[in-house]
Chain A
């Protein structure tokens, strides 16, 4: 990996990486690319997030759904772990709580395949600093 040599370097990198992530969100494959984040901090893992992540990776592949599954840190909803965030193309991200493999299956079948929401959504209740 090349080293970052200057601030301009880093900014350029940021743009490329941002673009790469944007592409993931809005780009060519937008029709069928789903992004899923699994909260994998200690609280999530202790409640079984690892199983859910494995299940998602395996099942999405099996069912032929083009999706990116990544891990992330604690979303703050420790009472509802495991939590996952699903972002369908051209839609706001939705966070689901208490996701076990059964719930994950329901999310794949209903929300990811048909855009039908399922029980257990955790509403966003904070402001981020990005839109400031």
Chain B
């Protein structure tokens, strides 16, 4: 028998260590320490009801256990085999107790469709993919459906592009299929560039065949015999696994001529990107593949009309493709039944930032931010307070506490002033300064702007300078107005998605954290203590004992004072590194 205790940060904070100790003592008191083991586990993702104790092999799931409950669990459950009713989880809707973790609705919060094989199969072995029904969707499509029927399935499923825009995938395929041409192209956009997003990389590294299979299906639908994967050279492992996968698929005749003995032929090649953010935009991506500068161009013509080498081209994101084979095999209705009214299926999110369970999750559309952050994500690191979550990368916005219960889907996120983007979620806590966050993203966009149109090239630079002034305490109230106006102009007049969305982090932080901007401008203070120019390290003469630890550790010799007498920091020399504060054993140094 095993007693599993959650040792995740959340449960640890509510004394799961003490519970483990207590359980061990109680077991020893009953001389059961050899038969029953107490095991600390990682996060169960049910932090709201922690600490969690799970009993194996019967899967009993106890919630909100305290050290005082240990004796009862051992005496009742372990010794007598009777479950401790009062500690069982109560189903919030049915009001009945649930003994078995396998029947808890909570575990239905994550559902893996795009990630179905990630962490499950060996990505370098095509046999394992085939054993999981791999390439059957392609076979089914080629032998049972004509292209239009296949497109209709995708349309009916409600699948929307997972790269950020959320354009209906089936419709995109249909448009490309209706443009006649001697050659067409299917392009997989694997130029994942949002800071903090790594879902596409994980899919390519964990399940490359699902993307190849879906590209072939798309090729059949639109009438293309060639597929290209545009992948950034910074993803060497993903590239290696894709190459292995393509070779294996060719060897099996699943790529190449006359696939499944039909007339359909399809092959895939890789194209490497140099890691420019703008090349995630489809026209810039196509130019880059053609060997031209990675700059976006006006639409229309859309790639579906004139794309790679002037031929009709269909560009989809990695995650979009990964969803296609299960839709074909399980049917459009199945996929349509998951998610919200206008956003169907699941979405993979990369959780990053100040969150305990940094990682990849896949959840049905319509789940709330609260569930994602506080349940699956295990809450905020070090027990700090949640402040905001940035979704959609540099094109997205910051959502705050008031959005925590908003169901996540394409339209709700836009309505809340952010966007789905590719699915990066960067969580921020009370220590993060929102002006600095906006500045960080602007810094990124300025760096990544291709420079073709002036609103983006010049406007973003000016936005950045305004933000920089504010973080240095040199901003004025007029600057805040200027920020807003300039942002609007950049949004309205930029050529491509990069410029049209780059002011979003500024606008959403202005909307949600206006007070913080005002504090920087009027009070010349950074409420989170992040903006170095606005803070001062001060030694409290009452608390300082003159131990000289701070002075000895100051890298710029800004601290002076006699031994055993209060020290002082020379503010004009201080570089605000914080070394003195770390070294002070008497808490005499504070930030003002």
Contacts and interface: CB of A to CB of B under 8 A. Distances in A.
A76 B361 contact: yes
Given A7-B136, A74-B206, A45 B237 contact: yes
Contacts of A20: 127, 131
Decide if the interface of chain B is mainly helix, strand, loop or mixed: mixed
Nearest to B56: A117
B206 A41 contact: yes
A41 B54 CA distance: 30
A27 interface: no
Given A14-B131, A72-B122, A6 B260 contact: yes
Contacts of A77: 42, 357, 359
A41 B260 contact: no
Contacts of A83: 119
B153 interface: no
B358 interface: yes
Given A21-B131, A121-B4, A127-B110, A7 B44 contact: no
Contacts of A18: 131
A122 B122 CA distance: 20
B120 to A, nearest CB: 6
A79 B356 contact: yes
Nearest to A119: B40
A78 B119 CA distance: 11
B412 to A, nearest CB: 23
B568 interface: no
Nearest to A73: B206
Contacts of A124: 107
A75 to B, nearest CB: 3
Interface string B1-37: 0101011000000000000000000000000000001
Contact of A126 (B7, B41, B107): B107
A123 to B, nearest CB: 5
Given A125-B110, A129-B113, A10 B205 contact: no
Given A7-B140, A72-B120, A129 B112 contact: yes
Interface residues of A, number: 52
B334 interface: yes
Nearest to A18: B131
B303 interface: no
A128 B120 CA distance: 11
Contacts of B135: 4, 10
A42 B237 contact: yes
B438 to A, nearest CB: 26
B256 to A, nearest CB: 8
Interface in B41-61: 41-46, 54, 56
Given A7-B139, A7-B143, A78-B358, A73 B110 contact: no
B136 A97 contact: no
B32 to A, nearest CB: 14
B202 A123 contact: no
A4 B139 CA distance: 10
Contacts of B237: 41-42, 45
B475 interface: no
B117 A73 contact: yes
B330 A41 contact: no
Given A119-B39, A129-B116, A132-B330, A21 B128 contact: yes
Interface residues of B, number: 73
A103 interface: no
A120 B107 contact: no
A126 to B, nearest CB: 3
Contact of B41 (A10, A42, A122): A122
Given A70-B122, A72-B122, A4 B253 contact: yes
Contact of A79 (B54, B207, B359): B359
A120 to B, nearest CB: 7
A132 to B, nearest CB: 7
B357 A13 contact: no
Given A14-B131, A42-B201, A72-B206, A1 B115 contact: no
Nearest to B134: A14
B85 to A, nearest CB: 22
B402 interface: no
Interface string A100-121: 0000000000000000111111
Contacts of B120: 37, 72-73
Contacts of B334: 132
Given A3-B253, A72-B206, A126-B362, A17 B131 contact: yes
Contacts of B359: 76-80
A11 B54 contact: no
B111 interface: yes
Contacts of B161: none
A74 B130 contact: no
Contact of B260 (A10, A45, A76, A98): A10
Interface of B: 2, 4, 6-7, 37, 39-46, 54, 56, 106-113, 115-125, 127-128, 130-131, 133-136, 139-140, 142-143, 198, 201-203, 205-207, 235, 237-238, 251-254, 260-261, 326, 330, 334, 356-362, 376
Given A72-B121, A79-B359, A129-B330, 4 more contacts: A4-B253, A14-B130, A43-B198, A122-B43
13 contacts: A10-B130, A10-B136, A43-B198, A72-B120, A73-B117, A73-B119, A78-B198, A79-B356, A119-B39, A119-B40, A122-B42, A123-B44, A125-B106
